[in-house]
Amino acid sequence: MALQMKPACERCEGGLAMKDEAWICSFECTFCAACTASMGHRCPNCGGELVRRPRRDAAPDAA
């Protein structure tokens, strides 16, 4: 199961490229660094910890 790389912050709707810094919870809710900091690194949806999302340089080839 691959990680869902969401293209935008769920709070401010700012764009997030796969190589950009972003933060996720265990349910893959995704937020930008500024929103994550303002929320105290806690997901507003589940209350879980937000951790740095791994980065990708490019989209994987379609299978």
Q: Where are the domains of the chain?
A: 1-56
Q: Inform me whether the pLDDT recorded for 62 exceeds 60.
A: no
Q: Inform me whether the pLDDT recorded for 58 exceeds 70.
A: no
pTM of this prediction? 0.83
Query: Under a CB-based contact definition with an 8 Å cutoff, are residues 39 and 31 in contact?
Result: yes
Model confidence over 12-57: pLDDT tens digits? 999 999 899 999 999 999 999 999 999 999 999 999 999 999 887 7
Cβ contacts of residue 34 below 8 Å, gap of 6+?
A: 12
CATH topology for 1-56?
Herpes Virus-1 (3.30.40)
Quote the pLDDT of residue 2. Answer: 79
CA distances (Å), 38 to each of 1, 22, 34, 56, in order? Answer: 30, 14, 6, 25
| CA–CA gap between residue 23 and residue 16 (Å, rounded) | 10
Quote the pLDDT of residue 61. Answer: 55
